[in-house]
Structure 1
């Protein structure tokens, strides 16, 4: 059956044709590309409509009636994908490049796993390799489990593919969600294994407009107050999301993984000492030292 590729766009005219071309060039041609634009003003939508007119597998969705934002845009796309019959659903950014075998590789991986991701190769604005992998930069484990994911998001959305039944648990997104890829991966891990392919199936373009990019120490040092605030928002949203996931699992008569309850107890603890211990040296301590420090500072005021 068909693979549904969900691409969220916003002012991506500079690179989006290359990304679409890399989907069109897949060795596995059984796919449909759903695209939702979030109010672009740079000609992106005209380019998308031209692509759709030339290939019946490319479909540009009607504008959504909701506040702008990448999280809501992907939620809208996944809601449309959930109405379709497919083997799996893959997320796609507007400015990356896919390996020709990405769909074929993930179709094979999802025969035994509930979700699949990979470690993307970093490229510059011109598409030239930087000689680095993103998960190496993040000090992430080769095969993330729920413990690792709750400590640090190591599933890169633009590489993620999931079986359609994950969407029954994941949609709608919890209010205030900050990382949709983290949420989808966590929901998937409640239903089965997640496989992280060590091949670089995606070339992840680095530029100043990245929503999320590789770690850049000097740039991030200058933005320290904003980064601490961002990590506080992430931690708050993750606690709320885990509570929501617990409720959804109970509602569906599914077992709640103990790690979710431990996360709520330890990271959501009223005690500053317990909370900081969990984030500094416990199972929920981020492996990347800079991120671990940010999370510790962000947690000082508590989450009530």
Structure 2
């Protein structure tokens, strides 16, 4: 690895990604900012490992870390721990099936390089189909980005995240049990809502491929509601309450008095199934998602015991 030449690390988790991994790696290698690419494979059963091995034989800035199947959250946390003793200025997170424009990293660095305190960059997405044909842009958040939103909604997409050195140090210092976290990027949002600054870019430099095998797909609000009505709660992820209690246990000392009161009230309401109290929190804007439909979905999920 060319640690002395590169100051950017890309952390990429793969799982049965043979269909798109070449396009993704080629796009990373075309970046205007050189980067070291760390790939942890989460127990692929297809030809993903062989494909990546071919890339590592040709590019000294790509390292493959084979692993057992522990899930996407654990895989990314494993990568964070793996690069713990390496010294980079910026850390990017990457999915296996997207396509990065060559200025994606430079655009992020331009936004956050001014600060030596904790800063996380993220952005909207250019959603594309399997052939990288443009479909639509994801929506920029229309409500305040921060703690009250982060408690109940994840607006951060991991493949857009870039952490500066201070933010990465904070994340790696308090890595939780991945089994108690809904998704790694949501955890980043929670932590940065109390420990750092979040830069949310209204421009996008990533083609986010939408297909039938995404771990997390991009859906319209109506489709999200319909999906939750039909499928019910996704039991492969922990309940929201578990994530909030984990966050509280690790970061309570960082909360303001108002934040501490709010998260403890929310946890109590969720655990005791206090329906009118939950509705009151939503109506008064103490917690919120970005759209009316998403707030309705949140309320429905609570009433039906899915969070």
TM-score by length of 1: 0.86
2:47 aligns with one of 39, 43, 48 = 43
* Cα RMSD for the two superposed structures: 2.7
Query: Which residue is equivalent to 2:279?
Result: 276
Shift of 1:63: 1.7
Shift of 1:23: 0.7
1:116 aligns with one of 107, 111, 121 = 121
Query: Which residue is equivalent to 1:157?
Result: 158
Shift of 1:135: 2.8
Structure 1 141/173 Cα, relative in aligned 2: closer, same or farther at 3 Å?
farther
Query: Which residue is equivalent to 2:147?
Result: 146
Query: Which residue is equivalent to 1:88?
Result: 90
Where does the alignment leave 5 or more consecutive residues of structure 1 unmatched? Answer: none
Query: Which residue is equivalent to 2:229?
Result: 224
Is the CA contact (8 Å cut-off) linking 1:36 and 1:60 kept in structure 2? yes
Where does the alignment leave 5 or more consecutive residues of structure 2 unmatched? Answer: 1-5
Structure 1 36/231 Cα, relative in aligned 2: closer, same or farther at 3 Å?
closer
Shift of 1:50: 0.6
Q: Distance in 2 between matches of 1:99 and 1:152?
A: 27
Deviation string for 1:259-301 (max 9, x for gaps)?
3541331353233211232245533122233432332233237
Q: Distance in 2 between matches of 1:226 and 1:133?
A: 26
Deviation string for 1:225-265 (max 9, x for gaps)?
53445699442233223223334xx3xxx455733541331
Matched, 1:53 2:54: no
Query: Which residue is equivalent to 2:3?
Result: none
Deviation string for 1:151-204 (max 9, x for gaps)?
421111110111222224441445421111010122123222110111112111
Is the CA contact (8 Å cut-off) linking 1:5 and 1:34 kept in structure 2? yes
Is the CA contact (8 Å cut-off) linking 2:73 and 2:178 kept in structure 1? no
Shift of 1:44: 0.6
Matched, 1:181 2:182: no
Q: Distance in 2 between matches of 1:26 and 1:52?
A: 17
Q: Distance in 2 between matches of 1:280 and 1:125?
A: 40
Q: Secondary structure at the match of 1:162?
A: strand
Structure 1 233/167 Cα, relative in aligned 2: closer, same or farther at 3 Å?
closer
Q: Distance in 2 between matches of 1:144 and 1:26?
A: 29
Deviation string for 1:115-156 (max 9, x for gaps)?
1001011000111001x22235xxx23772222222421111
Q: Distance in 2 between matches of 1:32 and 1:205?
A: 23
Q: Secondary structure at the match of 1:36?
A: strand
Query: Which residue is equivalent to 1:22?
Result: 27
Question: Larger deviation: 12-21 or 278-287?
Answer: 278-287
Query: Which residue is equivalent to 1:238?
Result: 243
Deviation string for 1:14-71 (max 9, x for gaps)?
1111111111001111x1100011111220110011111110100001325xx53111
Is the CA contact (8 Å cut-off) linking 1:81 and 1:89 kept in structure 2? no
Is the CA contact (8 Å cut-off) linking 1:116 and 1:194 kept in structure 2? yes
Q: Distance in 2 between matches of 1:158 and 1:303?
A: 26
Q: Distance in 1 between matches of 2:236 and 2:279?
A: 14
Matched, 1:126 2:128: no
Matched, 1:209 2:213: yes
Shift of 1:104: 1.3
Structure 1 204/53 Cα, relative in aligned 2: closer, same or farther at 3 Å?
same
Q: Distance in 1 between matches of 2:82 and 2:142?
A: 32
Shift of 1:9: 0.4
